[in-house]
Structure 1
Amino acid sequence: MNAITKSDKMRNVHSDIRGPLYIESLKMQKQGIDVLKLNTGNPATFGFELPESIQNALNNHIDAGLGYCDFKGMPKAREAICEYEKSKGIKGITPDDIFIGNGVSEIVPFALTALLNDGDEVLVPTPSYSLWGNSVYLAGGKPVFYLCDESSNWYPDIQDIRSKITDKTKAIVVINPNNPTGMLYPREILSEIVQTARESGLLVFSDEIYDRLVMDELQHTSLASLAEDIPVVTMNGLSKSHCLCGYRCGWMVISGPRHLTEDYIQGIIQLTSLRLCANTLAQLVIPAALEDMETPASMIRPGGRIYEQRKATIAELSKIDGISFVKNNSAFYIFPKFDVKKFNITSDKKFASDLLHATNILLVPGSGFDWHEPDHFRIVMLPEAEVLGDAVKRIGNFLDGYKQQ
């Protein structure tokens, strides 16, 4: 019998957040080594607790989740999502335009598989959360990466987007606030992306999972609120804002002219019907969570955990010679840059491996976010401020005299 080999479809797929270095860290833990995992944005791991609003919603309605629900999701959950997204300025939507899934990680493949034929292209930001590029590959498409410009607060480079549109381009992906940079995009940039999509007849995917974790008194603008005349698929969920990663609760909202998306939506219906329904227990808490804006707000105001953890990270990063960064204003990520000449870095993966074994700190290198140079890494700012400050200080001590061989 021949060896069972993986499909050719997996050739370009990579998962660095829980990839080889993560596996190595698990082996280290089995040996009794305490590893600080700054690789994944999983709040519960660092002591963020279940909000009382969520606990009450589960306690009072748990029996309602025993059976399968509608393939689009439970009516009350979709109604709550619809009202929330309308409050963000998205016009013309109803609960029927909403599909609930087991996290945005399930929703994205549904949205792309229903859209793409083999060889179709999707414009994806670099750096970006690798779910998007990977899902394009698995749907038979080709991700074409457009630049987010570090010298301009990591905003999308509109000219680069325009230069990469071809007759094979089907859609543009926007991640706002962005992962891994932690940057919020202003209304002006979003309007330019919408105009580009309008001129080229493209669908826009807007990943807004961090929209409730925006700091410094800034306001998030939903891209679809600027695009009533073009199709937009807005993704969101509760994993980050309400610390419910394990509940797997995400959704997409399809807005814009219905006559343009009618056939596409039928494809999404086919896919969501195949998996019967999303986790009903997670759906039970959606109305309560979307009424509870105090939970995310309490984390991002001065004195809140995310705000203070960012403060501690920035303070220590600023002291490291050979590191520069753009201070994030959203989410709980920052994407620092090496002076590659100073450290002789030719492989960011080797840097992350060297760091792990020297300091027991696990990071994801920039290449894990489809960044094209070996000169960045992401820090997840979820541990308590004192722990984070100490970790960044240890990274600085490691880099002092570090030369990659």
Structure 2
Amino acid sequence: MENGEGREVRWGFGENISLTSAGKNSIRATLYKVMSSLKEGDPRPVIPLGHGDPSTFPCFRTTLVAEDAIVDAVRSAKYNCYSPNVGVPSAKYAIAEYLSRDLPYKLSPDDIFLTGGCSQAIEVVISVLARPGANILLPRPGFPAYEARTAFDGLEARHFDLIPEKGWEIDLEAVKALADENTAAMVIINPNNPCGNVFTYQHLAEVAETARELGIMVIADEVYDHLTFGNNPFIPMGVFGETVPVLTLGSISKRWLVPGWRLGWIATTDPKGFFKKTMFLDSMKNFLNISTDPATFIQGAIPHIIQNTKEDFFNKIIHILREAADICYNKIKDISYITCPHKPEGSMFVMVKLNVACLEDIHDDIDFCSKLAKEESVILCPGSVLGLKNWLRITFAIDPSSLEDGLDRIKSFCQRHSKSSK
């Protein structure tokens, strides 16, 4: 392009390879690709078993306490202002109290940094850890946002496996083999997305001891905290803060079923004060100084939401998830060529293995999901985007009747594409 003087103008909008790659490989982009295969004219409803947002289903509506708290915060006119960069003090205090319920020590508001959902918490932490030559240890399968931020910020991602035969426990020997003097941290997700497992106290203690030996911190993604319905209760990684410094990432998105409200946090669960001896906290504050804040009125509603939500609400959601997990696990047993190695005990997901070799005209998990969408109007998340090719992630946080319908359609699809039926 030339300007008025005939000279070429170079705008400088070059393609950012890291950002482009990360965006194309996100869950959102992958699900959009799968949904683009939906066939027009199918009279049946689309069954969304690919995402982690149950809020559209009436049985997963948030509590009236939360809705009323938002209305009251808006009408008070106290929260029409900009937010402090690290969060409204009353919200920080309420979250510190909330997290301290499960810890052997008490957090203070200074330990809490509010973010725009857990996604921004991931962005903040990864960006602050980034430095030339650094690497970070990530679980496989895992949540792609970590890979995306790691790639964008120039860290090297090194993957350790979760072992399906051991209930998706972390391969700690692999963690030890991967770490070196440039390793910044390891990430764990508990309760787990995408596998649906819940780590035991003993396993988390082993994780803490391994991290201590390696001299690295643990980033504990606990966005599904307390959403457990199996034999293992939720144990926060911060319980082991005396052993290893822990950054806990969380939000109200899942437990309160309001992912669109975008209120998350980073908590420094670090009773020995490791972070205070470094520039890490200052770096997080500096990052938050130049980034966007959660909506102030949402922050203003947090104390009321946390303090006044009754256990009956949480118990109802756990009951629905337990029932849905049972339906999912039992119906998968009847679907040929799909295997579930471990019954889900937490979060909203289960990972299943796909036997592509026994299916006609199905090349891989992405092809399976695309053709399933076209023929049966059912959306699944391909395992490839989560780090496991020819696996599938199934979301069971939808109403039970729709879940059964969706799984029946998957069964019909597999029967129709079975090589043995040709």
Q: Per-residue displacement from partner, 1:33-85 (whole Å, max 9, x unpaired)?
A: 74322221112222322311112212322222210121111111111111111
8 Å Cα contact 2:73-2:298 kept in structure 1: no
In 1, the alpha carbon distance for the partners of 2:347 and 2:16 equals 35
Aligned letter for 1:167?
Answer: E
Q: Per-residue displacement from partner, 1:132-162 (whole Å, max 9, x unpaired)?
A: 1111111210111100000000111111111
Aligned letter for 1:6?
Answer: E
Equivalent residue runs for 1:317-332 within 5 Å: 317-325=332-340, 326-332=342-348
Asked if residue 353 in structure 1 is aligned to residue 370 in structure 2, the reply is yes
Q: Per-residue displacement from partner, 1:349-396 (whole Å, max 9, x unpaired)?
A: 11111111111111111011122xx22101111221111111111101
In 1, the alpha carbon distance for the partners of 2:395 and 2:359 equals 22
Select the residue among 135, 138, 155 that pairs with 1:121. Answer: 135
8 Å Cα contact 1:210-1:331 kept in structure 2: yes
Select the residue among 260, 267, 284 that pairs with 2:300. Answer: 284
Higher alpha-carbon Rg: 2
Select the residue among 242, 260, 266 that pairs with 2:282. Answer: 266
Q: Per-residue displacement from partner, 1:284-322 (whole Å, max 9, x unpaired)?
A: 232233232432221113xxx222222222221111122
Which structure 2 segments of 5+ residues have no match?
Answer: 2-9
Residues 109 and 193 of structure 1, relative CA distance in 2, 3 Å threshold:
same
8 Å Cα contact 2:219-2:246 kept in structure 1: yes
Asked if residue 341 in structure 1 is aligned to residue 386 in structure 2, the reply is no
3-state SS of 1:64 partner:
coil
Asked if residue 19 in structure 1 is aligned to residue 34 in structure 2, the reply is no
1:215 equivalent in structure 2: 229
1:391 equivalent in structure 2: 406
1:307 equivalent in structure 2: 322
Aligned letter for 2:284?
Answer: I
3-state SS of 1:267 partner:
helix
1:364 equivalent in structure 2: 381
Select the residue among 29, 45, 53 that pairs with 1:42. Answer: 53
2:260 equivalent in structure 1: 246
Which structure 1 segments of 5+ residues have no match?
Answer: none
TM-score, scaled to structure 1? 0.92
Structure 1 stretches (4+) deviating beyond 6 angstroms?
29-33
Q: Per-residue displacement from partner, 1:244-295 (whole Å, max 9, x unpaired)?
A: 1110011010122335444011111111111253211221232233232432
Q: Per-residue displacement from partner, 1:162-202 (whole Å, max 9, x unpaired)?
A: 11112221100000011011110001111111111111110
8 Å Cα contact 2:70-2:297 kept in structure 1: yes
1:56 equivalent in structure 2: 68
Q: Per-residue displacement from partner, 1:70-119 (whole Å, max 9, x unpaired)?
A: 11111111111111111111535310111011100011111111111133
3-state SS of 2:27 partner:
coil
In 1, the alpha carbon distance for the partners of 2:104 and 2:36 equals 43
TM-fit CA distance, 1:30: 7.7
User: Bigger CA drift: 85-94 or 249-258?
Assistant: 85-94
3-state SS of 2:230 partner:
coil
In 2, the alpha carbon distance for the partners of 1:41 and 1:78 equals 26
Residues 259 and 203 of structure 1, relative CA distance in 2, 3 Å threshold:
closer
Aligned letter for 2:131?
Answer: N
In 1, the alpha carbon distance for the partners of 2:135 and 2:269 equals 21
3-state SS of 2:90 partner:
helix
3-state SS of 2:28 partner:
coil
In 2, the alpha carbon distance for the partners of 1:26 and 1:347 equals 17
Residues 134 and 403 of structure 1, relative CA distance in 2, 3 Å threshold:
farther
Residues 90 and 15 of structure 1, relative CA distance in 2, 3 Å threshold:
farther
Aligned letter for 2:29?
Answer: G
TM-fit CA distance, 1:28: 4.3
1:204 equivalent in structure 2: 218
In 1, the alpha carbon distance for the partners of 2:302 and 2:82 equals 17
Residues 21 and 204 of structure 1, relative CA distance in 2, 3 Å threshold:
closer
The share of aligned pairs that are identical, in percent, is 24
Residues 157 and 295 of structure 1, relative CA distance in 2, 3 Å threshold:
same
Equivalent residue runs for 1:51-130 within 5 Å: 51-62=63-74, 63-89=77-103, 91=105, 93-130=107-144
TM-fit CA distance, 1:7: 0.3
In 2, the alpha carbon distance for the partners of 1:248 and 1:148 equals 29
8 Å Cα contact 1:306-1:382 kept in structure 2: yes
1:161 equivalent in structure 2: 175
TM-score, scaled to structure 2? 0.89
In 2, the alpha carbon distance for the partners of 1:285 and 1:40 equals 27
Residues 131 and 288 of structure 1, relative CA distance in 2, 3 Å threshold:
same
